[in-house]
Structures are given as structure tokens and as C-alpha cells.
Amino acid sequence: MYAAPAISVEAIYYHPTIQQRVCERQTKVTGGNAPALILEATDRALASLGPHVQRLSERVVEAKIRADLMTKLPKRRDIATALPIGISLDVPKIVAEEKAKLGAAISGRDLGLIIARYPVRESPALGIIAEKLGFQGRSQYESAVRQLLIDDGNALAFSKALFGSLATDIAT
């Protein structure tokens, strides 16, 4: 089993570097201005996250708390001691901290971090990115990314690097 360093595959499809490469290919055909399109897509995507900050933060906290609770489950030796086991979680504090992280990422315009850490597919952000980069929607954009990875060895190497040592680990 291998834990990917992102919440979902969208972290690759919508990574800012991949967006840039796809947009540059698209604008060679359409004649658009790639830097301007990227800027507008980023601005609009970040703005679209505002109403979803609470829910996106709660979703990350849910996974974090579940993982934390799994590490705190009593082991056989804990049960054998017959001592009470107490687990306490300050959920409002954890959610507030996560909201602050997401807010800072939005303010800092760190779209790569946001897409990797939060389930933005549950917001309009990805559709906005796809449309602002000149595609009819996410499906068409994601097809363009797959074609980019087939055609461009550098883009493929970049996307593989997002997984850290996974390719090497699999090969050995």
C-alpha cells in the first residue's frame, strides 16, 4: 500500500504547472494569452472557494481525526491493564485551525496546496479552472491533460515526481 501525497487525482490534473502546460498548448490553437488565462482561472477558482471553506475544512478534519483515532485505539496490553482509556478531541479547535490554514492558502494564492489538501472537487473551483483555460468543462480539460502526459515526456516526469518515490518503489 502506498499513501499518495494528495487527497485525490485532481491534485495532478489541476496542479498549477500542469494547468500552465495545458493552457499553453490550448492557446497555441486558439491564440489566447496563456498567462492572462491562468491568472483569471486562479483568481476565479480561489474566489469560488469562499462559501465552501467551512465544509472543506471539516472534510479534512474528519479524515485527520479518523486517522488520529486509529492510532489511539487500545492495544492488547492496554486492554490487559484494565485501566480506563480516555480519548478527548477538541473538534471546534481542530476545525478552526484547519479553516485558518485554508484561509491562509487562499490569501496566499497557493492553489497547488489547496487542490492537493482539500476536496475541491466538491466545489465549483475545478470547473471554473477548466472553463477559464478555454475548455468546455472538466471532462474536456482532463482529456487534454491525459493527452499532454502522453505527448510531453517532461510533463509526465513532472507528474510522476508529484508522487515522490512511488515509481522507484514499484520498480524495485
State the DSSP code for 82: T
If one compares 4 and 63, the residue with the highest pLDDT of the two is 63
Instruction: Name the domain count of the chain.
Output: 1
Question: 146 vs 77, which has greater pLDDT?
Answer: 146
Q: What is the pLDDT of residue 42?
A: 97
pTM score above 0.95: no
42 contacts 111 by C-beta, under 8 angstroms: yes
Nearest to 23 by CA among 156, 129, 149, 103: 129
Range of the domain at 123: 10-171
Q: Is residue 1 part of a domain?
A: no
Task: Let me know if residue 2 belongs to a domain.
Answer: no
Tell whether 3 is covered by a domain: no
